[in-house]
Chains A and B, each alone.
Chain A
Amino acid sequence: MKSVKIFDSRDFPAYLPKLNNLYDDLFTGGKGFRSVLVTKVSEPLNLDDRLIQLLCQTIEFIHNASLLHDDLIDRSQLRRNKPAAWTKYTPEYAVLAGDYLLARVMVNLGSHGNVRLIQLTAQAISDLLEGEWIQDSLVRDFDITLDQLDRVHNLKTGSLFKWCLQGPFVAAEIYDRDIHTLLEECGTLLGLLFQRSDDLLDFDVRNYENKAVLGDLKSGYLNSFGVFLTRDLPEEQRQRALKAQSLGELKSIVTESHFESRLQAFDRMNIALIELYDHQLERLRALLPESQKPIVDQLLPLSKPLYWRKK
């Protein structure tokens, strides 16, 4: 797979040094998973390198714009183990830098000229913002259910994964409705798996990247595993668990054995999602012409490392 350079300071005006510095900080250290996904789909479609570069840049710009805004909304101090942009460059600059990235996406896609690609991208941005908006309105709502969170995550996280799978097909001018229904569904499932796995990191489960623990809960956001862990507890115990200040305290309140059994049940539920993802990909294989079938082989192994966080 070819490596793709997402950020190049020459893409942005040289007379805005602060903006360039901000982006330099922002883009360094990211895993670029979404652009890897785009590349895996694009190459078997025989898209030319410049188009693949445009698609990768598009998805990473949108993702990073959402991070700039997200950190400010959540008042997160750190991003990729560095000070978040709003703390280093002021909240105003963080907002403007995020907006600027989204504008660049539209300028770049506009130059390419595929209207349906612009439409798909605008829809993804719109869904992402809807998800952000709703998620923010759920802070301190500790009676939220897993179904409701899945809806938010489908908008917030799923929208970009859907774009990663559908974008290259639209760029290749493949508009078959059945294919796009399946790509959208696979993107939804990948987004859900990614988000649920990310939510586990907050409880220090498979936290190989050493992300901050219990950050969501402390900032008043009950994530998917939080809901799953606490939903069957007696009310008094649940209330104490929701106020826990450390993972040790949380585990002592809910008991270690309850934590482990809920984790196993959570994993089983997500294994069922992985099976569903595999099933939908096999259906996709049946619809694709021979030359494009390798896309399925590229996508099949993705769900497991995405959920289990293995390299």
Chain B
Amino acid sequence: MIDPEVPKKLKTLSQRDAEFTAYLDGSFSSTEIAVPLRSLNVGTQSEEVTFAVVKNEDVQTPSFLTVCRALIRPATLIFSLGPMAVVMARAISIHQYFNVFLVLACVFGILCFQMAVNLFNDYGDHMKGQDRVRPKGGSRAIQNGWVRAKKVRQAALGLTGLAALSGIPAIVNSPALLLALLALVVALEFAFQRLRLKRRGFAEVLAFGLTGPLLTVGFSWAVLGFAGLNEFVIGCVFGAIALLYFHSANFENIMVDSQAGARTWATRTGFEASKTFYLFVSGLCIAFAAAEVFLLERNIKLLPLLLVQLLVLIPVSRRVKGLASPLSSDLVGLRVEAVRLSWLTTIAMVGSFIWMKQG
């Protein structure tokens, strides 16, 4: 953040200027930082950004760890950690053999991959403008001047490399290779946004697949050598929660995105339809959980999974039903609820499978 009293020069650049990208990604200088203050006509040929250019030492940067935490968003790692933990807990409950080294390598690789996607997303949304117009978009680390965008991109590439290296033992001679390649393509799309899938409203679908059935089925294939309907439905439970998270983020920004002309699922369908969609996805979470409890596992010990969905989603759905304004503060905390639900679902399922093993 910049102290208002710190001496700064204001500089406005438009997309037509040669220096535009260098100022946006921070490569224009090693001694100064350009903090974007105002972005106009975002996403058009006439986009222009006004920067406050300050010396490096004049930016109030928090500690390195705080910046890393902001960029990585550790709480959201549950979206990939949770499904993997549950697949492993189930494998233990049915006395399935697995190689611990392989599991650790896969978990490490997938966590690196999710962190890389988070960073690519921060970089891409900063460069394309979405996080410059959304007051709470992304981690804010780039927009606050804590870190240069190009550094974020470098870190994301490094993490992708680490993820690829960690995944080598798992994907050799395994059908998981195909899923890993698909995940890589998606990560690259988040980084470079060539197909503009996110802008076309496909972020939710990608989130559902990558943190849901694709993850659980791919992970199970890689470390256990098989994947069945159980792993698929476990993935659907987590995928639906991730879908809720992404939809909440877009719903929260429905007004900002509409004014900036950004096309998200929320802006395309509108306020009331977004509420309905939220309720529909909540229903999906409950339905997948019920299917896992009553149709697949058929075990009463897994009931906590269903209870967690009901206890979290019923009050939140009531809140969503009562929303009357696109700027209501009730809209702001919905993302946090999805993260909380993912943590509680993980705890409930892992606990239930361990209980089943003991019983």
Contacts and interface: CB of A to CB of B under 8 A. Distances in A.
* A and B associate in one complex: yes
On chain B, which size bracket covers the interface?
20 to 34
B329 A144 contact: yes
Interface stretch (B37-45, B297-305, B348-356): B37-45
B5 interface: yes
A247 B332 CA distance: 30
B46 A134 contact: no
Contact of A144 (B136, B324, B327): B327
B46 A137 contact: no
Interface residues of A, number: 25
B256 A151 contact: yes
A141 B327 CA distance: 10
Interface in B32-69: 37-38, 40-41, 46, 48, 50
A137 B328 contact: yes
A283 B38 CA distance: 14
A138 B328 contact: yes
A143 B136 CA distance: 15
Interface string A273-287: 001100110010000
B10 interface: yes
Contacts of B358: none
B145 to A, nearest CB: 14
A181 B10 contact: no
A99 B154 CA distance: 57
A181 B5 CA distance: 28
A185 B327 contact: no
A191 B130 CA distance: 24
B5 A276 contact: no
A141 B325 CA distance: 10
B12 A181 contact: no
B327 A148 contact: yes
B135 A137 contact: no
Contact of A276 (B10, B136, B324, B325): B10
A68 interface: no
A37 B136 CA distance: 34
A220 B106 CA distance: 53
A275 B52 CA distance: 11
Interface string B325-351: 111111010000000000000000000
B4 A272 contact: yes
Contacts of A141: 325, 328-330
Nearest to B5: A268
A179 B330 CA distance: 39
Contacts of A276: 10, 37-38, 50
Given A181-B41, A276-B10, A283-B12, A269 B4 contact: yes
B279 interface: no
Contacts of B183: none
B46 A147 contact: no
A138 B38 contact: no
Contacts of B324: 137
Given A147-B135, A185-B40, A275-B10, A178 B46 contact: yes
A31 interface: no
A142 B332 CA distance: 13
A271 B2 CA distance: 14
A124 interface: no
A19 to B, nearest CB: 33
Interface in A240-291: 268-269, 271-272, 275-276, 279-280, 283
Contact of B12 (A143, A272, A279): A279
Contacts of A271: 4
Contacts of B10: 275-276, 279
A213 B48 CA distance: 40
Nearest to B325: A137
Nearest to B256: A151
Contacts of B46: 177-178, 181
B38 A151 contact: no
B82 to A, nearest CB: 29
B255 interface: yes
A268 B328 CA distance: 27
A182 to B, nearest CB: 9
B40 A181 contact: yes
A114 interface: no
Interface in B1-30: 4-5, 10, 12
Nearest to A267: B4
Contact of A143 (B4, B5, B325, B329): B329
Contacts of B41: 181
B272 to A, nearest CB: 14
Contacts of B37: 276
Interface in A165-217: 177-178, 181, 185
A152 interface: yes
10 contacts: A137-B328, A143-B329, A144-B329, A148-B135, A151-B259, A268-B4, A275-B10, A276-B38, A279-B12, A280-B50
Given A134-B326, A181-B48, 6 more contacts: A138-B327, A138-B328, A141-B330, A151-B255, A269-B4, A275-B10
Interface of B: 4-5, 10, 12, 37-38, 40-41, 46, 48, 50, 135-136, 255-256, 259, 324-330, 332
